[in-house]
Amino acid sequence: MNVVPPQEPAADSVPPPEHQPATEADLAAVAAQLGRPPRGTRAVAHRCPCGLPDVVETTPRLADGTPFPTLFYLTCPRATAACSRLESAGLMKEMAERLADDPELADRYRAAHEDYLARRAAIGEVPEIAGISAGGMPGRVKCLHVHLGHALGAGPGVNPFGDETLALVEKWWAAGPCVDVPTAG
């Protein structure tokens, strides 16, 4: 499993969000969710009500040197599928139209973009992805799973489209854990 240890942020940077270190059991669950070993995992950013990770915080540069702009990675296949259904139903197009017509919403979305950049920069600067956040921010709306991951990892009120996506997705956890993870013992 590829776990990247936390790096010390620069003294003048935004402190990294407070998340739980990923345990070996967490990494096994994430590997089962993704169908592959996770890459660049720094911490568990959010847990599903079932107890498994559903969002991990990743390092902005993978161990092989590849820049990786996605800070909050939604790992739960049920949550990801729920986002895909909303995308297929045209929600991103409707969000983009509202973004173009509503200056207050555009300001909040830009603030979400800035939040994403600041949190990632607090972990490490990667010049190749400087100014690039995720999910189309700040001018477009794409990848609702990225917005949901940001909303869950950063908390409510940070990403307006992430909060909206969270309110619209079905309760992916209601059926219990999305994967079976063997327990030690």
pLDDT 10s digit of each residue in the chain, 185 long? 333 333 333 333 334 446 889 999 999 999 999 999 999 999 999 999 999 999 999 999 999 999 999 999 999 999 999 999 999 999 999 999 999 999 999 999 999 999 999 999 999 999 999 999 999 999 999 999 999 999 999 999 999 999 999 999 989 889 889 999 866 54
pLDDT of residue 19: 86
Q: Which residues pair with 47 in a beta bridge?
A: 53
Give 168's contacts (C-beta < 8 A, 6+ positions apart).
86, 91
**Locate tokens 């409707």: which residue?**
94
Q: What is the pTM of this model?
A: 0.87
- pLDDT confidence of residue 18: 67
What pLDDT does residue 46 have? 96
Rounded to whole angstroms, the Cα distance separating 162 from 137 reads 11
Q: What is the model's pLDDT at position 45?
A: 97
8 Å CB contact between 83 and 164: no
Task: Classify the phi-psi angles of 147: left when phi > 0, otherwise alpha if psi is within -120 to 50, otherwise beta.
Answer: alpha
Q: Are 166 and 160 in contact (CB under 8 A)?
A: no
